[in-house]
Structure 1
Amino acid sequence: MSDIKPWAWVILAASFGSMFFNSAFFAAGVIHGALIERYPDVDVGTIAWLGSLFSCMFALTVFVGSIIINLFNARTCVMLSGLLTLVGFTLSSFVNDIKLLFVTYSLIAGSGQAMSFAGSMVTLAYYFKENTSIATGIATSGCGLCTFVFPPLTQYFIDTYGLSGAFLFLGGLGFQSAVCGALMKPTEYETRPNKLLKCLNLCKRKQTKKILIEKEQSKKNVTEPNEQKSSRFLSEKFVLLTSAPVWLLFISSAAFHMALSTVYLFLPGYFKHLGSSPQESAFILSIAGITGIFSRILLGFLSKSVDTSLVYSSTFGIMGLITFFVNFMSSIGSKITYTALLGFYTGACWTLQYTLLVDIIGVKHASTGYGMMMFFSGMGYLLGPPFAEMMAVWFHNYYFAFVFAGVCFMVAASTGLMIRTKTNKILLLSDTEINDGEGDKCLLQPEKHIIISDEKWIIKQLITSV
């Protein structure tokens, strides 16, 4: 890591802090129980939709964050996320109508967490191009710490200040991500369009005379480059929609988040059903945060030497098998064991997903690709709890909600195993550096044909990687 810029370590710390302060969706299960007590006359399914929508927004609206990053930079995205979280939770503390909570709590507060996650992940790819998995593993351990701290802390806020007071505290904590975002100095990739425009204007001035002399001849010659540019543009924009590994990753991500949202939303209530108190249930759930911290860092390093898709899929498969036996976990020891394994085997999912995505599509398309991947993740978060609720009502037993989660884990494992990006042959061309004569350098990246092949398929992608 000797080639990493010194400010990159500040970025790493800021990303860690942003993910820690703005990841209240890990406490959605605790808030779900408080909402059921606050609105006893409201259908439980409606409250489940409220919690699932809040949880899914961190992924469903990441594409908004990617748009802001493309228009401005990651710093603006993360700072805006803190403001949205503050506004959303503050308004929720004054709302009594559950219908309005769908706007203030689920949409506004949830969107703030989405943008924080998007900005932090993308800026890490800019600063740690060669060590993305390790950097994201360390940064996303902030989510693991949040998983440990926020459930019991949120339960304490609810017990002491009520649900309205808890919303205020969560909004204040989430706003701290704006401070972390202020430290995320824009990189050359975010300011690159202005440099490219400068180079193009310089080239235009130098070639004006030549263009005037050869005007008639250039009419024929311009047609082919324009057609090639149009073709390259379409290929670049639609590469995500024509890549089998990308679609496998999207499907795996959706299935995994259907399982994860179901477990985190229903597990505190199910532990109460098995004899635990509310505070004990929140504490048991927080154990997943501690083991999640270790797994994020450990698997981030492990993916440097082992096929990332193999690690990614095997963790989900193991977690799916364990989830099928949640009905037998009545003792305090078995409950702690399950949540510890839950954190360990699912904690590094975002690290591994992002590493796989960058391996497939390159860094330049990271923000767009990440937005699309998190959209599928958000759909999983949105649909998981309601479907699990339907399963529980259909069989008159909440254990079948976890059966549904186990099946989703297994689907995520099987599709993730099919990606196998590390065993594919990747052929990249080198970059071309052009000096504009005024002290600035422009990186004109050549198009890179990445050929991904194995026994099953051959896919040709047109990608520009920075």
Structure 2
Amino acid sequence: MKQVSTNQHAWVIVAASFFSLFLNAGLCYAAGVLHVRLVETYPQNVYSVAWLGSILVSLTALAGPVASLVINLYDCRTCAVLAGILGFIGFVGSYFAPNLPSLFVTYALIVGLGLGLSNTSSVVILGYYFKEDTSVAAGITVTGGGLGMFVYPVLTDFLLETYGLRGTFLILGGVVFQSCVCGMLMRPSEFEHSRREMFLSGQNRRQLVIHAISGGDYTQCCSILTNIPFLLLVFSYFTVSLATSSLYLYLPDYFVQRGASLQTASFSLSVSGIGSIVSRLTTGFAANDPRIGSILLLAGMTGLIGVLALFINLFSVTSAGQLSYGFLLGLYTGGLWVVSGPSALSLLGVERLATGFGLLMLSIGLGYLVGPPLAGLVFQASNQHSSLFLFCAAMCFTATVCTFLTAVAGSGSDKLVKDSMSQKQTDIDVDVVCNDVDASFHLENGFCVDVDKPHFVPEEEKLVLEKT
């Protein structure tokens, strides 16, 4: 397996991933604006319309395993381009959708799947191009999604007022389609080329299916499912997603109940976008410090979100306090998505990154899907917002404990991953010498072997290997 070191094109990858997340992940923050117009269009189906936005947002994470399958079979470029095509087809289909059930297919399912493919491919490819500064690259990249928090709600509102719901769908389809350009800039890494050649050569259909699902063989798949530190990380993201999805959904309503205007309550969420952008940039640089690390940062952020949920009453009295709360919420939740990729990389290594990150995104999507209804049941049972926020705090503190356990249990596995990556890089250097001997030669058991007709290289050519 090959992994390229950081080079000039790696920063092209960062730019492409940044704009891919801006065009796709940022669109999730416009779902609420579209929801208002959809309710006006279908007033007799308010409950069904609410599920449209919920499925759309959840699929951005639930589609992680599908994205992993595409990446394992092909590469991140194919996954990113497919995301743009699906987004375009989904929005254009929504323009022609004759009724609400059709929108569940075109808008919720197809567009949501496209957004999910973009999210996963834009993060996974960073692990293939950055051996050391993965956290910095991730911090810069996911800021694109934070920037989308500002642009898309305002843009969508303008389009709805100017062109109506159908016209907005059509224009958004054209905007999302531009992410295909970003995808084409994601040149497959040497690791992806090597992996694809190895797994597609001489495999039957059954082996290809196993490779597509797990990124390798049975052993590699089992190694992910039995990796205790990684499973703890997955559960940590699931519980914190339960909390953050509920916080963002019920926060405006709580502020209104405390006497704030709807405009102030909504603006507190916009201010959280500022905190999110600041967090995404600073978290990337902090996680790159070996004395801190991405997993320890994750534990701190989940704990602080829990503290915010516990003491929300202190911020709800004045408008300044509500806006401050929105900023702090964005400050601590924005960094969660920066450390997700580097944390998975440190626990699994580059070979299992695509499959592992897909599972991680699946857990996040399940949290988003289940969180708001579960919090709603808590609120319905007590009829008090305080019980709801206590539930969110409990989920965050659970995530903190699981993340600390991940850091403790994962310290040994992190060393094994680094040693494995170092050994593979040594094999790559020797393999390059084999290619210099003959284009069809590759390293096998310490010798250069012809892949078409295996044989040992003459003694004088073996000396080339020994000198390396």
- 2:264 is the alignment partner of 1:261: no
* 1:52 counterpart residue number: 54
- 2:297 is the alignment partner of 1:311: yes
Equivalent of 1:381 in 368, 387, 400 = 368
* 1:285 counterpart residue number: 269
- 2:283 is the alignment partner of 1:323: no
* 1:183 counterpart residue number: 185
Q: 1:51 to 1:246 in 2, by over 3 A?
A: same
Structure 2 Cα separation of the partners of residues 96 and 162 of structure 1: 15
* 2:232 counterpart residue number: 248
Structure 2 Cα separation of the partners of residues 66 and 197 of structure 1: 15
Give the alignment's TM-score, normalised by structure 2: 0.79
Deviations 1:8-38 (A, max 9, x none): 1111100000000101112333334444444
Structure 1 Cα separation of the partners of residues 254 and 168 of structure 2: 22
SS of match in other structure, 1:348: helix
Equivalent of 2:334 in 330, 347, 350 = 347
Q: 1:198 to 1:51 in 2, by over 3 A?
A: closer
Structure 1 Cα separation of the partners of residues 196 and 393 of structure 2: 49
SS of match in other structure, 1:253: helix
How far apart are 1:113 and its partner, in Å? Answer: 0.5
Q: 1:166 to 1:342 in 2, by over 3 A?
A: farther
SS of match in other structure, 2:139: helix
Structure 2 Cα separation of the partners of residues 133 and 266 of structure 1: 31
Q: 1:344 to 1:191 in 2, by over 3 A?
A: same
**Aligned-residue CA RMSD in angstroms?**
3.1
Equivalent of 2:118 in 116, 130, 136 = 116
Structure 1 Cα separation of the partners of residues 312 and 322 of structure 2: 8
Instruction: Tell me if the contact between 2:74 and 2:196 (Cα under 8 Å) persists in the aligned partners.
Output: no
For residues 120-269 of structure 1, the aligned pairs below 5 Å read 120-193=122-195, 196=198, 233-268=217-252
Deviations 1:79-98 (A, max 9, x none): 11112112223333444633
* 1:8 counterpart residue number: 10
* 1:18 counterpart residue number: 20
Deviations 1:370-403 (A, max 9, x none): 1111111111111112222333333345665444
* 2:205 counterpart residue number: none
Structure 1 Cα separation of the partners of residues 83 and 71 of structure 2: 12
Q: 1:273 to 1:380 in 2, by over 3 A?
A: same
Instruction: Tell me if the contact between 2:134 and 2:288 (Cα under 8 Å) persists in the aligned partners.
Output: no
Q: Structure 2 unaligned segments of length 5 or more: list them.
A: 203-215, 447-468
Q: 1:176 to 1:323 in 2, by over 3 A?
A: farther
Equivalent of 1:27 in 16, 24, 30 = 30
What is the percentage of aligned positions where both structures have the same residue?
A: 37
- 2:91 is the alignment partner of 1:89: yes
How far apart are 1:196 and its partner, in Å? Answer: 4.5
Instruction: Tell me if the contact between 1:392 and 1:398 (Cα under 8 Å) persists in the aligned partners.
Output: yes
Task: Report the AA paired with residue 386 of structure 1.
Answer: P
* 1:68 counterpart residue number: 70
Structure 1 range deviating more: 70-79 or 160-169: 160-169
Structure 2 Cα separation of the partners of residues 47 and 399 of structure 1: 28
Structure 1 range deviating more: 162-171 or 414-423: 162-171
Instruction: Give the structure with the higher percent helix.
Output: 2
Q: 1:118 to 1:53 in 2, by over 3 A?
A: same
For these two proteins, the number of residue pairs brought into alignment is: 414
Structure 2 Cα separation of the partners of residues 125 and 66 of structure 1: 14
Structure 1 Cα separation of the partners of residues 250 and 192 of structure 2: 41
Structure 1 Cα separation of the partners of residues 317 and 158 of structure 2: 24
Equivalent of 2:378 in 379, 391, 396 = 391
Instruction: Tell me if the contact between 1:52 and 1:383 (Cα under 8 Å) persists in the aligned partners.
Output: no
Instruction: Tell me if the contact between 2:264 and 2:319 (Cα under 8 Å) persists in the aligned partners.
Output: no
Q: 1:384 to 1:157 in 2, by over 3 A?
A: farther
Q: 1:245 to 1:73 in 2, by over 3 A?
A: same
Task: Report the AA paired with residue 377 of structure 1.
Answer: I
Give the alignment's TM-score, normalised by structure 1: 0.80
* 2:438 counterpart residue number: 438
Deviations 1:53-88 (A, max 9, x none): 111101101111111112221111111111211222
